[in-house]
């Protein structure tokens, strides 16, 4: 009887937020009944609230032994283990959904766990079960859309994202995921993508109008020629392609002209974070800050030119830019198109990636076309080019691009190339191919196109950058993806003496390969249509001498190009900043 009294005291105390009373009552209960499942469960709640996750896990493991058919206990144990030892969390989650097949939170948490482990197809199946149990879980459906995008299933991805934003237009993450996914979808035109971005931007600007009206006006005229306070905003100041392209500019900036502020939303800082921090004049860690807090800080820092490096990618702060927190606002680098914000004054690009006659109409932000390309590359490692000479071995094509960029038409063209080169092999390397289900889908897609999967070399991630770059020595010709080209992977391939066959498309994401190759002086590697893409790959595969010449000369050619000239790039950027600052001052 006393045990039941203590159990009720504990429940009441927990409901009232009185952990001390609950803990004392549960101690008495468990002293007399150490296998009391509900008592152990409640003690786990107490311990976890007190920051003792280890004790909570121990209590839940004991409770699970005492009550093996309790789905709530299994779910709670899985949720705690997921934060510390993810591999151990799968078993209790699986038990929870076995015991209660419509347990939506358990399916959701299991999906999140599997996605984090790179098991994409299993994660998608878990999300689908969660939605079957509760169709209103829109964040889960948004996550499912991201998974399908990672697998190259773009129509499925966009269908999920469209449904999410129809049901909840104010769901910011869902909106960003939808806009990002549109760039991967080969069935959408450039006009359709831009219209969707502008509609999003107009809605956000309307929502932020009161905050903009309440902000203090910027003072014009004074100090037009002074050192400019330039702020860069990014969630990717860590080991990430954005950071790799940003670092050369950051180091080459002339402090007689710009005072550099970095606002970092990197939630998991690493060695690259510390490198960037050491090069910046001012560094502000903003991870976890509200938009209000960040907007107030940027305003108080009196930033002259604020540069977005994220666009609609994860962790962006476009809602801060919508508040007009700096006199001049630009976007660059991290996103393959316009943001859609009326408050974003400019986007940095070049005339190949965004030709004047094709890209100016209806842009939300004015395009600034940099004369020598909008990218500056620095190879992260110095691995020697050491390809095995052709002759006596099959040619190896390859793509190391994000697998989300590999759509059905790309697979069609690659299959046609392999048919034209019957002895050739194809290496596809991508993080998504860590997942057995995605590897099977890829192999099956080639089989359906008449290509023996034995000719494929499907690779997931490798331990480090040196191993990654060394794999380029195993491929002879890189095949770019479309309509979303590679960027980092194109530079990496060229640095490793690997020519890249690119298809010039109609929008920015589909023209980055052409931009890189044009500024490198290699127009012969740019195809203007699909037949030319196939022909260029097949012709190069049949010319061992030309392949060998590229292998021997590409690195030196890249070194001598403006694409590796950080000083020149920085002067161009700084001149652009000064020009646009003067426009604002005298406007």
pLDDT above 60 for 548: yes
CATH number at residue 81: 1.25.40.10
Mean pLDDT for the chain overall: 94
| Band (357; pLDDT cuts 50, 70, 90) | low
The more confidently predicted of residues 205 and 514 is 514
140 is a domain residue:
no
User: Strand 328-331 vs strand 228-234: parallel, antiparallel, or unpaired?
Assistant: unpaired
DSSP codes of every residue in 361-378: TT-SSEEEE-TT-S----
Residue 556 contacts by C-beta under 8 Å, 6 or more apart in sequence? none
Domain final residue, candidates 62, 80, 100: 100
Range of 431's domain? 396-563
pLDDT number for residue 76? 95
Distances in whole angstroms, Cα of residue 248 to Cα of each of 31, 565, 570: 63, 9, 8
pLDDT of 210 higher than 80: no
CATH number at 334 reads: 3.40.50.11380
**Percent of the chain clearing pLDDT 70 (strictly above):** 96
Residue 212 scores a pLDDT above 80: no
> Helix 104-116 and helix 138-150: axis angle, to 10°?
30
Per-residue pLDDT tens digits for 20-32: 898 888 888 888 8
pLDDT band at 359 (very low <50, low <70, confident <90, very high): very low
> What's residue 14's pLDDT?
84
Question: What's the count of helices (H) and strands (E) in the chain, helices before strands?
Answer: 26, 13
Q: Is the pLDDT of residue 361 over 60?
A: no
**Cβ neighbours for 284, distance < 8 A, ≥ 6 positions apart:** 261, 262, 263, 264, 297, 301
Question: What local confidence, expressed as pLDDT, does residue 297 receive?
Answer: 98
pLDDT at 25: 87
Task: Output the pLDDT for position 415.
Answer: 98
pLDDT at residue 395, rounded to an integer = 97
Bridge-based pairing of strands 396-399 and 346-349 is: unpaired
Mean pLDDT of 473-502: 98
Residue 220 near residue 584, CB atoms below 8 Å: yes
Boundary of a domain, candidates 60, 82, 100 = 100
For residues 218 and 15, the model is more confident at 15
**Does residue 263 lie within any of the structural domains?**
yes
pLDDT digits (tens, 9 = 90+) for 389-427: 888 899 999 999 999 999 999 999 999 999 999 999 999
Q: Is the pLDDT of residue 149 over 90?
A: yes
Measure the CA–CA gap between 264 and 309, rounded to whole angstroms. 11
Answer yes or no: do 423 and 371 share one domain: no
Mean pLDDT value across residues 145-161: 97
Q: How high is the pLDDT of residue 389?
A: 87
Between CA 155 and CA 529, with CA 410 as vertex, the angle to 5 degrees is 115
Mark whether 434 and 502 lie in a shared domain.
yes
pLDDT at 446: 98
Domain count along the chain: 3
Same domain, 445 and 306: no
pLDDT mean over 151-158: 96
Task: Give all strands (DSSP E) within 125-206, no chain letters.
Answer: none
DSSP assignment letter at 352: T
**217 within domain boundaries:** no
pLDDT tens digits, residue range 117-136? 999 999 999 999 999 999 99
**pLDDT, tens digit (0-9, with 9 covering 90-100), for 549-569:** 999 999 999 999 999 999 999
Q: Write down the pLDDT at residue 96.
A: 98
191, 361 Cβ separation under 8 angstroms: no
Asked if residue 344 belongs to a domain, the reply is yes
């Amino acid at each position: 009887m006393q045990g039941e009294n203590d159990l009720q005291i504990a429940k009441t105390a927990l409901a009232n937020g009185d952990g001390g009373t609950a803990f004392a009552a549960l101690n008495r209960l468990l002293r007399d009944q150490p296998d009391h499942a509900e008592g152990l469960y409640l003690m786990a709640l107490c311990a976890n609230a007190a920051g003792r996750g280890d004790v909570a896990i121990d209590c839940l493991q004991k409770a699970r032994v005492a009550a093996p058919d309790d789905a709530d206990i299994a779910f709670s144990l899985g949720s705690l283990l997921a934060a510390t030892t993810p591999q151990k969390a799968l078993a209790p989650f699986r038990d929870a959904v076995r015991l209660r097949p419509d347990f939506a939170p358990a399916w959701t948490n299991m999906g999140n766990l599997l996605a984090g482990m790179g098991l994409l197809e299993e994660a998608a199946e878990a999300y689908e079960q969660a939605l079957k149990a509760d169709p209103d879980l829109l964040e889960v459906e948004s996550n499912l859309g991201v998974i399908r995008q990672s697998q190259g299933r773009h129509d499925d991805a966009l269908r999920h994202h469209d449904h999410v934003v129809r049901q909840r237009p104010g769901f910011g993450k869902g909106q960003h995921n939808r806009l990002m996914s549109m760039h991967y979808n080969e069935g959408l035109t450039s006009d359709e993508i831009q219209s969707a971005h502008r509609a999003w931007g107009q809605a956000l600007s309307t929502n932020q109008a009161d905050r903009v009206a309440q902000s203090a006006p910027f003072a014009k005229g004074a100090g037009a020629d002074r050192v400019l306070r330039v702020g860069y905003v990014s969630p990717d100041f860590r080991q990430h392609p954005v950071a790799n392209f940003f670092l050369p500019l950051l180091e080459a900036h002339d402090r007689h002209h710009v005072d550099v502020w970095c606002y970092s939303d990197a939630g998991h800082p690493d060695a690259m974070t510390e490198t960037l921090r050491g090069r910046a004049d001012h560094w502000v860690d903003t991870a976890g800050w509200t938009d209000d807090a960040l907007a107030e800080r940027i305003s108080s820092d009196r930033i002259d030119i604020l540069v977005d490096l994220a666009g609609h990618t994860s962790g962006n702060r476009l809602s801060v830019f919508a508040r007009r927190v700096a006199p001049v606002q630009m976007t660059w680098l991290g996103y393959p198109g316009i943001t859609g914000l009326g408050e974003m004054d400019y986007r940095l690009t070049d005339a190949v990636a965004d030709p004047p006659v094709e890209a100016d109409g209806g842009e939300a932000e004015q395009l600034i076309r940099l004369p020598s390309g909008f990218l500056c590359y620095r190879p992260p490692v110095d691995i020697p080019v050491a390809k095995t000479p052709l002759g006596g071995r099959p040619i190896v094509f390859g793509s190391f691009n994000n697998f989300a960029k590999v759509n059905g038409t790309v697979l069609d063209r690659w299959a046609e190339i392999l048919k034209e080169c019957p002895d050739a092999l194809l290496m596809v390397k991508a993080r998504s191919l860590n997942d057995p289900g995605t590897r099977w889908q890829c192999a099956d897609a080639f089989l359906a196109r008449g290509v023996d999967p034995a000719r494929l070399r499907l690779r997931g991630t490798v331990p480090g950058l040196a191993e990654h770059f060394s794999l380029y020595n195993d491929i002879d010709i890189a095949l770019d993806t479309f309509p979303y080209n590679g960027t980092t992977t194109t530079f990496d391939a060229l640095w490793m003496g690997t020519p890249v066959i690119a298809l010039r498309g109609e929008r920015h994401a589909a023209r980055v390969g052409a931009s890189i190759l044009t500024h490198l002086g290699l127009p012969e590697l740019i195809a203007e249509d699909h037949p030319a893409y196939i022909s260029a790959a097949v012709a190069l595969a049949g010319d061992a001498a030309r392949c060998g010449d590229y292998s021997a000369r590409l690195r030196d050619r890249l070194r001598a190009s403006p694409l590796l000239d950080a000083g020149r790039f920085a002067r161009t950027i700084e001149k652009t900043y000064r020009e646009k600052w003067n426009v604002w001052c005298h406007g």
